[in-house]
Amino acid sequence: MSLHLDPSVRHVTSVEHVVSRWARKYPDRITGYFRKEARPARWAEFPAGLSPGLRTALEARGIRQLYSHQREAFDHATAGCHVVVVTPTASGKTLCYNLPVIEAVRGSQAKALYLFPTKALAQDQVAELLALSRAGELALRAFTFDGDTPADARQAIRVKGDIVVSNPDMLHQAILPHHTKWAQFFESLRYVVVDEVHSYRGVFGSHVANVIRRLKRVCAFYGVTPTFILCSATIGNPKEHAEALLGEPVHAITESGAPSGERHVLLWNPPVVNPDLGIRASARSQSMRLARQTIRARLKTIVFAQSRLMVEVLTKYLKDVFDHDPRKPERIRAYRGGYLPTERRQTERALRSGSIDGVVSTSALELGVDIGALDVAILNGFPGSIAATWQRLGRAGRRQQPALGVMVATSSPLDQYIVRHPEFFDAAPPEQARIAPDQLLILLDHIRCAAFELPFASGDRFGENLVDDFLAVLAESGVLHQEGTRWDWIADSYPAGAVSLRSVADGNFVVVDRSDGRQAIIAEVDYSSAALTLYEGAIYMVQSRPWQVEKLDWDGRKAFVTTTRADYYTDAIDYTKLKVLDRFDGHIAGQGTCHHGEVHVVRRVSGYKKIRFYSHENIGYGPVNLPDQELHTTALWWQLDQATLDAAFASRQDALDGFLGAAYALHTVAQVRVMAEGRDLQKAVGSGDAAWFATRDANGRGQWRDGEGGAADPDSAGFNPTLYLYDNFPGGIGLSEPLFRMAPVLLREALELVQGCDCNGGCPACIGPVIGEEDAVRSSQSELAAHVLALLGA
């Protein structure tokens, strides 16, 4: 009906109307609802000394005073104090750094380096700076410097750029190793702006912290100590995280002075379609249904998808509804990485001008790209952290009208956990960004790169670390030459080229589709999960479309697949053995113990099961012949002794099932706490000495395995089950230590998760799926897990 209306007239059904209609129709799908009141602005005057040119530029853009946080950032930064600004999306945070930077550039020919995690953000930032510059005739010279910058433009940028906007990878691989070409730039470098610092966590963040150490070392060579201005989304530990990245005290600005319109947020859990198996309708179908309704209601809508492929799928579904008539202007667009810049700019313009009604995007639009104001944000799946969720929800919001955000949960454990805990969205964010800049492997990589950039002297420090031993080792491998106390790079190689900031060192596997003579890469799989998902014979699914792995080239990091119509999926039979090597710390946990320390992990994939869709019958086995994955890393673990368990449980099988369920729940809550990617943190249950370990059978019940993966007898050996959570990175990446310190909280939350789940004795959202058992057995599984958690002091 609305199609017959004049499209130039916005015929809007209000957000409140949509929300109340959904609340009436689908009360059981809405697990959380928040209404955030509109908030007025808190203003501050322009700084007294603000130059007339900049004042003119701001006024030309309608800015006559500052928000309080912008003024606070200006005052601290100009006083030479490092700051981190923690404010929500669209709160005008760019002025927090642009004001001090522009004043310094114009007042004293200073230079500034801006780092953004993506190229698109960098391009936006330059566009914004140039617009401001034009408005006040400030003659700012701001340039992006990234992989797309043509070689002939680079020299001009190095010499002429006042503000160079780049990313950590370029700093690492192109700027620092060529710093003499940037000498003029470094000699005048006054400010370094690092935006989106919450995204620099885990392995990536640990690398970035070391790149910043190298940057500061090069700055010291040129006699400058720039002030850092950092920006972060709302996380639990912004100040601590900023200080870990920088290695110096940082002033945190956490109060936003920006106004915000009223906002409604819904947590949406798709309805259960198979109560026995705890299977829910897909998030995709729910997101589409919601988006269709809001777009029909003439509410400008953005849908966030988790993958590029999903963007395409959702876009197609929406276009089938709204863009089926080619004579009418386009209403729906897709936006993601991999598109040409011109196409992305076109979509951004269309969004700003309001000429399209819906956009489907990956995280590419989560960050600060300027797309104007939208009415509705629909998240197809939990983005992995509360911080990213708020960033995406923040994409909808206007001053005058209320905005709506909906987070639609998938069936993954993390999504299911989050959607049932609305309090995470209400209270302070639970997530802590963690980095481990002194992780030995990463440190060695960056000391190598740093030695290339400037010679080291014995006794120098890199971060807090004395470099001597590292230098000696690098000299022995032939890349450094020692003369007295001086160590010079000597090799004919470019070490930064071999170090990728964004992935673990071993390199990803690409999945190559060879169907019908094609050679198309359809996915990338990280090294640590390749053995589990890409063995020959495996069914590899991308958005539920199945491919079969025909050939795995382990050394070449390639898996060749063809499309298949198989009615089954495959599940690797893998054995993870852990052995405790060293205890760093420990305490009593209920009737057991909890420790933090070092472990040796061996993972072997010995074969796979073929499991039929829907019926989940096991219809066959296949062998897998792959090298063992070995890893020394850090872990935390819980143990209960034999006497306690024999007294508390009717059988050792029950106790083991309890441990496996507890591990599943603890792993889920721990991931939320440390903002971990699922692959960075792993779980396992076994003995403390690798004598035996436990796996789940196809029905979710525990099985004993001996050290070689064969069946083991639960009653013969000592029964000392141990529940591990470990860092899935050689040497550890700093996750297990903070988890150890919050172990009591984890136990409590895991217990709440198990007891609060309304499933029938085990589902993907609590202790993992338990199927095919009689109801009496099944319902006891949750209780067993709860019992183990309680014995550990939860």
Partner 1 sequence: MNALAEKLRRLRADAGVATRENAPAIIAPVSAARIASARTDLSALSVLRELARARQARHPESPIPNPGSLRPVPLAAPAGDEIAPGVRYVEQSFPYPADPVLALPVESHEPVARERLLCFDTETTGLAGGVGTRAFMIGVAAWADGRLRVRQLYLTAMAGEAAMLRIFAGWLRTDSILVSYNGKSYDAPLLKGRFRLNRVQHRLDDLPHLDWLHPVRRRYRGVFANCRLATIEREALRIVREDDLPGSEAPAAWLAFLRGQSSRNLGRVLDHNRQDVVTLMRLGDHMAGLLPDQRV
Binding site residues, partner 1, CB under 8 A: 177-181, 183, 438, 440-441, 443-445, 452-455, 465-466, 468-470, 472-479, 481-484, 486, 488-496, 498-499, 505-507, 554-555, 581-582, 598, 627-634, 730-732
Strand runs (DSSP E) across 409-527, as ranges? 456-457, 461-462, 465-466, 480-483, 486-489, 509-513, 520-525
What DSSP state is assigned to residue 82? -
148 vs 476 by CB, closer to partner 1: 476
Query: Pick from 259, 257, 185, 267: which is nearest to 226 by CA?
Result: 185
Question: What's the burial of 716, exposed, middle or buried (CB within 10 Å: 0-12/13-18/19+)?
Answer: exposed
Q: How far is the CB of 528 from partner 1 (least distance, A)?
A: 10
308 vs 679 by CB, closer to partner 1: 679
6 vs 582 by CB, closer to partner 1: 582
Q: How far is the CB of 354 from partner 1 (least distance, A)?
A: 48
182 vs 704 by CB, closer to partner 1: 182
Q: How far is the CB of 453 from partner 1 (least distance, A)?
A: 5
Strand pairing report for 629-639 and 692-696: unpaired
Q: How far is the CB of 151 from partner 1 (least distance, A)?
A: 11
* Residue 786 exposure: Cα atoms within 13 Å on the Cβ side: 15
181 vs 558 by CB, closer to partner 1: 181
Report the amino acid identity of residue 304: F
Q: How far is the CB of 421 from partner 1 (least distance, A)?
A: 33
426 vs 628 by CB, closer to partner 1: 628
Q: How far is the CB of 462 from partner 1 (least distance, A)?
A: 9
492 vs 774 by CB, closer to partner 1: 492
Contacts of residue 266, Cβ cutoff 8 Å, sequence gap at least 6? 19, 22, 30, 32, 33, 404, 405, 406, 407
State how far the alpha carbon of 733 is from the alpha carbons of 68, 197, 436, in Å.
37, 18, 6
Report the amino acid identity of residue 492: D
176 vs 396 by CB, closer to partner 1: 176
Q: How far is the CB of 100 from partner 1 (least distance, A)?
A: 28
Query: Pick from 654, 660, 635: which is nearest to 730 by CA?
Result: 635
**Coarse DSSP helix, strand, coil percentages of the chain, rounded to the nearest 5 percent:** 40, 25, 35
Buried b / exposed e along 75-89 (16+ C-beta atoms within 10 A): ebbbeeebbbbbbbb
Query: Pick from 769, 700, 611, 739: which is nearest to 276 by CA?
Result: 769
| The residue to which tokens 């760019």 are assigned | 94
298 vs 600 by CB, closer to partner 1: 600
* 687's tokens: 């003995």
Alpha-helical segments (H) within 584-726: 642-648, 652-673
What DSSP state is assigned to residue 321? H
State how far the alpha carbon of 346 is from the alpha carbons of 333, 351, 352, 392, in Å.
10, 9, 10, 21
242 vs 447 by CB, closer to partner 1: 447
405 vs 731 by CB, closer to partner 1: 731
Query: Pick from 138, 124, 112: which is nearest to 53 by CA?
Result: 138
444 vs 648 by CB, closer to partner 1: 444
Q: How far is the CB of 708 from partner 1 (least distance, A)?
A: 17
Dist CA 149 CA 398 (whole Å): 35
Q: How far is the CB of 105 from partner 1 (least distance, A)?
A: 23
63 vs 444 by CB, closer to partner 1: 444
438 vs 571 by CB, closer to partner 1: 438
Q: How far is the CB of 728 from partner 1 (least distance, A)?
A: 12
Whether residue 214 contacts residue 115, with contact meaning beta carbons closer than 8 Å, is answered with no
Q: How far is the CB of 194 from partner 1 (least distance, A)?
A: 23
DSSP H/E element including 239 = helix 238-246
Whether residue 313 contacts residue 284, with contact meaning beta carbons closer than 8 Å, is answered with yes
Q: How far is the CB of 466 from partner 1 (least distance, A)?
A: 5
Whether residue 361 contacts residue 303, with contact meaning beta carbons closer than 8 Å, is answered with yes
* Residue 276 exposure: Cα atoms within 13 Å on the Cβ side: 9
Query: Pick from 138, 186, 142: which is nearest to 164 by CA?
Result: 142
State how far the alpha carbon of 461 is from the alpha carbons of 85, 207, 213, 244, 281, in Å.
29, 17, 10, 16, 56
Buried b / exposed e along 422-451 (16+ C-beta atoms within 10 A): bebbeeebbbbbbbbbbbeebbebbbbbbb
Q: How far is the CB of 628 from partner 1 (least distance, A)?
A: 8
Q: How far is the CB of 443 from partner 1 (least distance, A)?
A: 6
255 vs 476 by CB, closer to partner 1: 476
Strand runs (DSSP E) across 270-393, as ranges? 272-274, 279-280, 301-304, 332-335, 358-361, 376-380
174 vs 332 by CB, closer to partner 1: 174
CA dihedral 109, 110, 116, 122 (to 10 degrees): 0
Q: Is the dihedral of CA 537, 541, 544, 548 positive or negative?
A: negative
Q: How far is the CB of 482 from partner 1 (least distance, A)?
A: 6
476 vs 775 by CB, closer to partner 1: 476
Query: Pick from 120, 119, 63: which is nearest to 92 by CA?
Result: 63
> What is the DSSP track for 19-47?
HHHHHHH-TTTEEEEEEEPPB---EEPPP
Strand pairing report for 486-489 and 480-483: antiparallel
Query: Pick from 257, 255, 259, 263: which is nearest to 40 by CA?
Result: 259
Q: How far is the CB of 94 from partner 1 (least distance, A)?
A: 32
Q: How far is the CB of 732 from partner 1 (least distance, A)?
A: 5
Q: How far is the CB of 497 from partner 1 (least distance, A)?
A: 8
739 vs 765 by CB, closer to partner 1: 739
